A = this chain, B = another copy of it.
């Protein structure tokens, strides 16, 4: 299976590492041979219809920061869409940074691939939160698969779980913790009794919160994920502006201590129903499935037959997110 990989940051490099680690296993178990035929970053591209050497690619990126420095097959300044035209591939793997204004460049790249009848796998929340319906229709029209497990919950496999593991159940609603950064901050405030500002700084020092933490702490990241879950699992047609959002930046250590005295924790809870979407801080019981620690994500699916079923997994991480992408690639392979 020939992969055209757009974006070579943490997630893209994770995918390359996973291919290097697991290609023999995938070959043995599924007869699947993953080949990277093109890779891009902001510097340009590397293209080889025979397949790039993933270890050499990772080494080149580590040493120079640029995929276009890949020996022999690197092309400086070659843009994503141009790269897609120059190589024959089976799956577009789109892992450029999320843009929640207009979802570009991801949106155009995905549309181009789907129109060219290529399967698409993405970890990018932008196009899904803003244009889910259009993109899914386009995939259906062109009879190709469009998969996005890594866009929600990193290594917490919620989307394929809902679709494949509970085929006899109807899913009525979802409640979850969909952002690892805020869960880390709230967990630490609870344990240490520390203030929001101080704990945010610690999270930034550890690389868990970004320099500009707005999208995480104000709930936007989790809001994007509620849209994706609702449209994908409940069959709705929401977009980002439909979500009622409240972040965690006003939560005090006093509020957390008060809740704790009564056996409760404060968590940033995302709620997904067929009628409304919301992200807001809420009280949850200390011994409930919502009481997960650190950067973990979790989601509880309310079903018609099995009552509540919960999945918990790491919300981020390069290899962890790559593992979700790998599951999508294997599932595409199994169905083709």
Contact = CB atoms under 8 A, between A and B. Distances in A.
Contacts of A21: 305
Interface stretch (A131-139, A239-247, A322-330): A322-330
Contacts of A18: 168, 305
Contacts of A319: 305-306
Contacts of A168: 18, 22, 26, 323, 326-327, 329-330
Contact of A309 (B166, B265, B292, B311): B311
Interface stretch (A99-107, A155-163, A210-218): A155-163
Interface string A275-301: 000000000011111011100101010
A108 interface: no
A324 B303 CA distance: 12
A172 to B, nearest CB: 13
A192 interface: no
Interface residues of A, number: 54
A323 B303 contact: yes
A59 interface: no
Contacts of A187: 287
A25 B304 CA distance: 12
Contact of A289 (B286, B300, B312): B312
A207 interface: no
Q: How many copies does the complex hold?
A: 2
B327 A167 contact: yes
* Dominant SS among interface residues on chain A: mixed
Nearest to A319: B305
20 contacts: A22-B168, A26-B168, A155-B305, A155-B306, A155-B309, A157-B166, A164-B165, A165-B165, A168-B323, A169-B326, A169-B327, A286-B287, A298-B310, A300-B312, A305-B319, A305-B326, A307-B313, A308-B313, A310-B311, A311-B311
Nearest to A154: B306
Nearest to A327: B168
Contact of A165 (B161, B265, B286, B296): B161
A221 interface: no
Contacts of A293: 285, 287-288
Nearest to A333: B167
A82 interface: no
A221 to B, nearest CB: 20
A320 B292 contact: no
